[in-house]
Amino acid sequence: MYDVLLVSPPSRMVNHYRPPLSLIHIGGYLTHKGLKVKIVDKPMKQVIRNKEFWKSKNTYLSEIRKEMLTDVRENPSDFVGVSCYSTEFDEVKELIRDIRGISKAKIIVGGVHPTLVPQDFNRISDYIVRGYGEMASYGIITNQQMSTKNFDDFCYPNYDLVDMDYYTTANPYAIRGVFLRATYLLAGFGCPSSCTFCVAKSLRPFFGVGNLRSPQRIIQDLNYLKDRYHIDGFYFIDDLFTIKKPYVLEFCKQVKNTKLLWGCSSKVTTLDEEMISSMAESGCIQMDFGVERGSNEELQKLKKGQTIEKVKEIFNLCSSYKIRTFANFIVGLPEESQKDREDIELLVREISPTIISFNLFESYCGTELKGKTEYSLIEWIKKKTKEHNSLWRNFRCYLSRKYWKNILFSKKKMNYLKQLWTLIQEVINQKFQ
């Protein structure tokens, strides 16, 4: 008998090798407090996303859903916790309905959508968690109120609750484009930006900004993951890891000794040469940026809080220190012109990111910017993604001494060889899809 089962919507299983990090954190805190926890997690084994996969995707997800429900039925518990993004609302409603049909457990929902629109779950769930789920879930299960402002006090991720042997398999998805035995980490929550297309501003009252785990605690987790699962790298999944310069410099000092390669999300306005130099020296090989648009006028409309000039400066610095750059752009905004897209392409050619992602605008609850999705641009996105992403630019890191030194000292060299054919298939699929 478990105190609680924690469940992610089955559709998240489409994500390549990405563990349910929020449940790992919630489940870790609950086990730290002495509760018996099970994460219901069924990773999708079909890795190659070719045309045949997309044709059969719903069949795969249906099978995963059945397996999850079987797990719920065969593992009685007093509570079932379900996570939900806004795009998953209909799926989560159906999932909860089916869970109620096979279990008498009380239902707890949490995540972005319940945080922003709790009323949507009034007749669906028994409890609604807004914001951090660790202490709130513990309070619901034990009827004890917990409170603290120190992230370290409730941050005890328990990776052993999921199949980390699977999630740490050599793959090019954690640090996107880099074939590595890497996993995902969370340093903290919150972003100070007010981008009109993002929900970060609406989530700020619940998660705050800059509430970070101490570098020492993160290093403890990394050493455990390295010793137990033999990771060779990691990626911070934070909205904005580089939010505090002193914190980043201190972390770089400490992480250097792990000899791990790593990546993170950043924003050009938070960086300078001292930080970039320190990050590169400590093993950072990639930063992901939301560049979004190709002109200052468009950036101002989005309240992005950055300029094209700053973008160029930081991308040049990253190139100088051999840090790969992943540039995200958004297209299909309300009143967008052809010139706006041409400006984006012009900037892409000038800053030459390692990887470019063109993303189609969609408005979600909690975002300031509203408008319809221009699905007619999907073909444009596919065409420009192929046109601007250079296979050579992405694969240059595989010629670097830093990368091969990491692989040669890996305790799981055979895993790389076993996964090499999968990597080749995936590259071919991306090239000719």
| pLDDT single digits (tens) 155-178 | 999 999 999 999 999 999 999 999
211, pLDDT greater than 80: yes
Average pLDDT over residues 301-319: 98
Delimit the CATH 3.20.20.70 region(s) of the chain.
Answer: 168-421
Angle made by CA atoms 70, 74, 79, in degrees to the nearest 5 = 95
Summary mean pLDDT of the chain: 94
Delimit the CATH 3.40.50.2300 region(s) of the chain.
Answer: 2-154
51, pLDDT greater than 70: yes
pLDDT at site 133: 94
215, pLDDT greater than 70: yes
pLDDT at site 322: 96
Average pLDDT over residues 65-69: 96
325/305 Cα distance (integer angstroms): 19
Superfamily of the domain at 2-154: Response regulator (3.40.50.2300)
Q: What's the gap between Cα 22 and its chain centre? A: 10
Measured CA distances, 408 to 225, 256, 405, 412, 416 (Å): 18, 18, 5, 9, 11
Measured CA distances, 383 to 326, 337, 362 (Å): 18, 18, 20
pLDDT at site 52: 85
Residue 150 per-residue DSSP state: -
Phi, psi of 211 (to 5 degrees): -85, 95
pLDDT at site 433: 55
6/39 Cα distance (integer angstroms): 5
pLDDT at site 64: 94
46, pLDDT greater than 90: no
Average pLDDT over residues 43-49: 81
pTM over 0.85: yes
pLDDT at site 210: 81
Q: Is 249 exposed, middle or buried (0-12, 13-18, 19+ CB in 10 A)?
A: middle
260, pLDDT greater than 60: yes
pLDDT at site 12: 94
Contact in structure between 397 and 178 (CB atoms under 8 Å): yes
pLDDT at site 48: 78
Per CATH, domain 168-421 is 3.40.462.10: no
323, pLDDT greater than 60: yes
85/113 Cα distance (integer angstroms): 5
Band the pLDDT of 189: cuts 50, 70, 90: confident
Q: Quick: pLDDT tens for 76-87.
A: 999 999 999 999
Q: Quick: pLDDT tens for 331-383.
A: 999 999 999 999 999 999 999 999 999 999 999 999 999 999 999 999 999 99
432, pLDDT greater than 60: no
Contact in structure between 44 and 62 (CB atoms under 8 Å): no
Average pLDDT over residues 135-156: 90
Band the pLDDT of 396: cuts 50, 70, 90: confident
pLDDT at site 431: 58
245, pLDDT greater than 90: yes
